[in-house]
Amino acid sequence: MEAIEWNDVYKTGIEVIDYQHKRLIQIINDLIEIHEKEDLRVDLIDFVLDELILYTKYHFEKEEIIMSEIKYDQLDTHKDGHGKFVEMINNFKERTVSSDDITSELLHYLKNWITFHIEVEDKKYVDYIMYSPGIV
């Protein structure tokens, strides 16, 4: 699987959010790289997955604070999306990563979710911020 390449379409223009998105992509790329190695290190995947779970929690909290500060009208829907993602990763983690198939499925899911979420879902609240200058 190809690593995710940072693309300017992912850019929100909010420095802290762009930084955190890059970090999330980097962690997912670490997982992809580990998975590409011939002798799959399940323990390592598990370790990096924990890092992803922690960092995701930290990042979603930051985004949700911003969205509530600007009184974003789709906050609840956006939060639901975050919640479902966390649930999915935790499910994967339980089934973990004991088989190659599950790891592949996990990586496809992560890659699709993060790129779509940043490019489409996060852009919506960024557009909203345009109308609330001085918030972040």
Residues lying near Fe ion in the complex (CB under 5 A): 63, 122
- CB 69, min distance to Fe ion, A: 15
Specify the residue, 34 or 122, whose C-beta has the smaller distance to Fe ion: 122
Distance CA 81, CA 75 (A): 10
- CB 107, min distance to Fe ion, A: 20
- CB 47, min distance to Fe ion, A: 25
Specify the residue, 92 or 125, whose C-beta has the smaller distance to Fe ion: 125
Distance CA 45, CA 98 (A): 10
Specify the residue, 14 or 63, whose C-beta has the smaller distance to Fe ion: 63
Specify the residue, 115 or 122, whose C-beta has the smaller distance to Fe ion: 122
- CB 121, min distance to Fe ion, A: 6
Specify the residue, 28 or 97, whose C-beta has the smaller distance to Fe ion: 28
Q: What is the 3-state secondary structure (H, E, C) of the chain?
A: CCCCCCCHHHCCCCHHHHHHHHHHHHHHHHHHHHHHCCCCCHHHHHHHHHHHHHHHHHHHHHHHHHHHHCCCCCHHHHHHHHHHHHHHHHHHHHHCCCCHHHHHHHHHHHHHHHHHHHHHHHHHHHHHHHCCCCCC
Q: How many residues does the chain have?
A: 136
- CB 26, min distance to Fe ion, A: 17
